Amino acid sequence: MRRLTLTVALLAAICAAGRAQNGGIDAATFQKIRESYKPSASDRALRNALAGHDINKLAASADNEARFNADFSHRVKTKGITNQESSGRCWLFTGLNVLRAQAIDQHNLDGLMLSHNYCFFYDQLEKSNLFLQGIIDTRTRPLDDRTVEWLLQHPISDGGTYTGVADLVSKYGLVPQQAMPETKASNSTSRLSSLIALKLREFALELRSMPANAKSVALENRKVEMLSTVYRMLALSLGEPVQRFTWTRKNSKGEAVSTKEYTPKEFYQELFGNNLVDNYIMLMNDPSRDYNKVYEIDYDRHTYDGHNWLYINLPIDDIKQMAIASIKANRAMYFSCDVGKYYNRDKGTLDLENFDYASLMGTTFGMDKRQRVQTHASGSSHAMTLIAVDLDASDKPLTWMVENSWGASAGYQGNLIMTDEWFNEYMFRLVVERQFVPARILDLLKQKPIKLPAWDPMFAGEE
């Protein structure tokens, strides 16, 4: 009997210890937390204000209003603001805006709007092929294999990066907007993308169920049939990509200069002609990883036969010098950042002083950029076109401006203005022409890239 009593007591002690160490909030812990909060009169006033108002409205710094400045010492010549509507195609709009500014300047055009719908059609078809071929390549692995899991979780999206622009335009060319206008499905992509993703997952299970010894030709033939289904879905929603079109070039006075018939690749070669793959260098400021190293992200591409995202990780001051040189030469750049941080929608400004969250909430927010990246608190989320910088007498940047793709009424006349301090903290990616990259930095490309996995959280597609 005594032995049974001791056993029961021991079990009770173990259970009690387990309850004490399980990390939950028990009644005693909650009581301590609750008693620690002793609201002051100002706390009660804040509680009343927060009950009916947006946090950003209450945290907005009135003292910061005077810092707004829309004057820039150097600005790239651009014409017109684009609008990606309810889609995640910022990467595509940004890439084409870089090319558009160049063509307007070089050919003295009155303006130029390119068809994002044309490129998006091929983007979705190519991403479907990337997924299906990835499934074929990994079909003998178990479903819980990390790469297989990632593929099934991300069969397709409308987000992307500069590499998508480079590979798609190099392969398929470009057309003016009037040759293949936007549709409801291209302006609001979520429904179409979700349907294609559902079909691709179904196809994936079929490919994985085919005999292990199935010949590659049989797999390829079935994949082509699957892609034909995707093509039909895209054609019904976006229209078929135009093969030939007629376009009238007009000079800056609006006078017709020429009218010609083009193929998409002929149009691209005549108006642009850039080698988008080899003539542009991708840069990153990620203080959580070693600087002066080259990194490559597996599966971070838009076409199976294209290029993974490959970049040089550099200190922010190195990137700024290349950006300034590019702007001075009237060259816009692909730029991406964590746009939601300290963004004043009413003014179109990005400034660390826009909102005083610390005073409002009675605490501090002390992580630096490296720590925010490491804890997933910050990362590149949106691409825009870097077009202006304001330099002081010592050639030090004070403010920057990007052309956005949220329409002319968003931000400051369709643009966003950021302080140099904000640029330091929330800028992540920049793509510059090779001519603006110092030889010492180009030499870094001789390194064997450090390959990062597709699921690295820093490298989700920009939307």
Averaged pLDDT, 342-348:
93
**pLDDT tens-digit map of 397-406:** 999 999 999 9
pLDDT 10s digits, 415-425: 999 999 999 99
Burial of 230 (0-12, 13-18, 19+ CB in 10 A): buried
Domains belonging to the chain, first-starting first, are 74-459 (3.90.70.10)
CB atoms within 10 A of CB 32: 9
90 belongs to the catalytic site: yes
Containing H/E element for 297?
A: strand 293-297
Angle at 83 between CA 80 and CA 86, to 5 degrees: 180
pLDDT digit string (tens) for 279-316?
999 999 999 999 999 999 999 999 999 999 999 999 99
H or E stretch covering 245: strand 245-250
The pTM of this model reads: 0.91
Residue 404 falls in the annotated catalytic set: yes
Q: Which residues contact 456 (CB under 8 A, 6 or more apart)?
A: 297
pLDDT at 66: 67
pLDDT attached to residue 18? 46
Place 11 in a pLDDT band, splitting at 50, 70 and 90: very low
How far apart CA 61 and CA 63 sit, in angstroms, is 5
CB of 452 closer than 8 Å to CB of 148: no
Residues in the chain: 463
Question: Which residue is catalytic, options 116, 302, 307, 382?
Answer: 382
Element (H, E) at 313: strand 309-313
In the set 90, 117, 274, 415, the catalytic residue is 90
Tell me if residue 22 is catalytic: no
**In angstroms, how far apart are the furthest CA atoms of the chain?**
106
